[in-house]
Amino acid sequence: MARQDPAAKRYAQALIELAREENALDAWVVDLDALQALVVEPTVSQYLQSANVGEASKFATIDQGLEDSAPAVRNLAKLLTRKRRIAIADQIVDAYKDLVNEERGIAEATVTTAQPLDDAGRSAVIAAVQRSTGAREVSLTEQTDREIIGGAIIQMGDHIIDGSVRTRLGGLKRSIAGSL
């Protein structure tokens, strides 16, 4: 996971304050999703970051790509472009969504297991995430990776709980090698 630029969280906090004032948290999510889709497109990203492209052309691209979005979101994209910070727009959107979820008591977690979870395993992971975060609700993304052998790896934002057999075996290997 790439490290988040500290400015991304500050921008996201400012955006959530605006969204609260407008009572439009969900509308902002939709419009920010459009911004994120625009800036993660490699060609558009390079174009908006290019020193060889004029600001007016960049702004026209933003207006066209975000024509169905609120003017405030287009203005955000233009501000980020002008300040040469458009590369962190993706991180700003993710940070905004995290803040919205936090406000609503929703924790997002990804669990990686060697085999798909059954209902009991899924419930146990959700309960563990709720205890860990204090969240009322958990949005769980499930992944399988046979290389972890067994156990589970749970990721909640930057926090990772690695209870995989692969990690335990690696620790045992290092312990044995260190004692020789």
The domain segmentation of the chain, as residue ranges, is: 6-101, 105-179
35 within 8 A of 86, measured Cβ to Cβ: no
**Residue type present at position 44:** V
pLDDT value for 2: 56
Per-residue pLDDT tens over the stretch 129-168 = 999 888 899 999 999 999 999 889 999 877 888 888 888 8
Across the strands, what pairs with 144?
Answer: 113
- N-term to C-term CA, the chain: 35
Please compute the mean of the pLDDT values over residues 4-8 and round it to a whole number. 87
Q: Which CATH class is domain 6-101?
A: mainly alpha
Per-residue pLDDT tens over the stretch 54-74 = 999 999 999 999 999 999 999
Query: What gap in Å lies between CA 168 and CA 150, rounded to an integer?
Result: 10
pLDDT value for 1: 45
Give the chain's mean pLDDT: 92
111 within 8 A of 153, measured Cβ to Cβ: yes
19 CB neighbour count, 10 Å cutoff:
21
